[in-house]
Structure 1
Amino acid sequence: MGGCLEAMKPDILLSRCSFMEAREYVKKHIREHYEVEPGYKIFDVHLIGVPPLLVGIDGDDVIFPYTKPCHGTFVVKVPGGDEIARLRARRR
């Protein structure tokens, strides 16, 4: 993981997966999830992948796919902070 995300010490829920596997993981395991477009900025990273990208909320945590070039795609879980309200506001 790189940049700001690494400093947050994410829990890795799924590693080295496809974009579709990441989407299906969030859809299956996280009840509250939101569809975002590639390039959506969460914390200090831009999400990349094949749409639809799903970002989930589980309690006070945010779960999302993170792709690190040369390392693959991971589904990570980090404390959500202000991102939770921002994601929920997209639905209005």
Structure 2
Amino acid sequence: MGCLESLPYEVVLSKISFREAREFLARYPEKYDIEPGYRMFDIHIVGVPPIRVAVDGDSLLFPFTKPCHGTFLIRVPNATDEIARLRSRA
């Protein structure tokens, strides 16, 4: 199992709801809705479906929930492999 801390991530928004994350990510032209349990970077993504993720250049943005800390919108740069995997699902 992966760990968010092992990724070079940036927190874009903190302590948000999944609805707020979906609304924020709606502004990106390339976005995908995934189901809870989808695995990215060897991390299972949890949340209220549909969980929206977005591509911004070579970065991937997605909501991530840390137990006892809430939900954050995360940006991971140089995510070309994960982006290719998302695109292949569509």
- The match for 1:53 is 51
TM-score (norm 1): 0.89
State the superposition RMSD in angstroms: 1.1
State the secondary structure of the residue aligned to 1:20: helix
Q: Please tell me whether residue 63 in structure 1 is matched to residue 71 in structure 2.
A: no
Return the alpha-carbon distance in structure 2 between the equivalents of residues 27 and 45 of structure 1. 23
Q: How far is the alpha carbon of 1:5 from its aligned partner? A: 1.7
Aligned length: 88
> How much identity, in percent, do the aligned residues show?
56
- The match for 1:4 is 3
Task: Provide structure 1 residue ranges, at least 5 long, that are not aligned to the other structure.
Answer: none
Paired letter, 1:65: P
Paired letter, 1:63: L
State the secondary structure of the residue aligned to 1:82: helix
Q: How does 1:34-49 map to 2 (within 5 A)?
A: 34-49=32-47
